[in-house]
Amino acid sequence: MFLENSVNKAYRKGWIEVICGSMFSGKTEELIRRLKRAEFARQKVEIFKPDIDARYDENDVVSHDANTIRSTPVQSATKIMMLTSEVDVVGIDEAQFFDEEIVSVCNELAQRGVRVIVAGLDMDFSGKPFGPMPALMASAEYVTKVHAICVGCGDLAHYSHRMIRGDKQVVIGEKEIYEPLCRTCYTNVLKK
C-alpha cells in the first residue's frame, strides 16, 4: 500500500535553495539529483530553463555528465508563474540568464509554499556577479557553492575563464570556449 503525501498544503512552508559555482562544477548535476529525489518522494515537480540554453537539448536539462531530466524552456521568468499551479517543487537551471524578475518569481513561489531549487553561475567570465544570482543568493534560505577542478593546477576552481576574445557577457558554450580556473591561475591568465 502506498501512503499519500500527508503534508497539509495549507500550512506547507516554502523556501529557496541556490546551487552556484563556475562552469563544470556540477551545479546542474546537483539540481537534477535534488529534483529526482523529490520525484521519487512522489512530489509534483516542474523544471524550467531559459530557452536560449539549447547546448545539449532544446527541452531537457542536461548535465555535462549527460544526466538528464525533463524541463520546460521559457523565454521569461514570468512564464514560470503561469506554469506552476499545484506543484510541490520547482527547479530552475541556468538562472543567470533570466532577468531580475526571476528573484520575484522565486520569492512568490516560496511564499506559496513551494520548494524552489535554482542553479546558476554566480560569476561571469570576467569574475563579476552574474545577473540575478547575487539577489537570489541573498533571498535564499540555503546556498550551496560547488567547485570545479582547475585545469591549470588541480586546485579548486571557481572562475569560468573564457578562452575566446570578446566583451559580450553571454556566450553560450562548453569546453571549447570555457575552462575552470582557480584564483591564482585565473589571475595569471589575465596578466598575459
> In terms of DSSP H, where are the helices of the chain?
27-40, 77-82, 101-111, 133-139, 183-191
Query: Which of the four pLDDT bands, split at 50, 70 and 90, describes residue 18?
Result: very high
Say how far apart CA 59 and CA 149 lie, in whole Å: 28
Task: Name residue 92's beta-bridge partners.
Answer: 48, 118
Model confidence pLDDT, tens digit, residues 87-143 = 999 999 999 999 999 999 999 999 999 999 999 999 999 999 999 999 999 999 999
Say how far apart CA 81 and CA 103 lie, in whole Å: 12
Choose, from 94, 108, 141, 179, the residue flagged as catalytic: 94
What CA–CA distances, in Å, run from 149 to 18, 154, 182?
A: 20, 6, 8
pTM: 0.85
Task: Decide which of 161 and 59 is more confident.
Answer: 161
Model confidence pLDDT, tens digit, residues 141-186 = 999 999 999 999 999 999 999 888 877 776 666 667 899 999 999 9
Residues 162/174, Cβ–Cβ less than 8 Å: no
| Predicted local distance difference test score (pLDDT) of residue 6 | 45
Residues 124/21, Cβ–Cβ less than 8 Å: no
Residues 126/110, Cβ–Cβ less than 8 Å: no
Is 94 assigned a catalytic role?
yes
Say how far apart CA 130 and CA 169 lie, in whole Å: 9
Nearest to 28 by CA among 49, 14, 46: 49
As to burial, measured by CB atoms within 10 angstroms (0-12 exposed, 13-18 middle, 19+ buried), residue 110 is buried
Nearest to 45 by CA among 27, 70, 79: 70
| Domains detected in the chain | 13-146 (3.40.50.300)
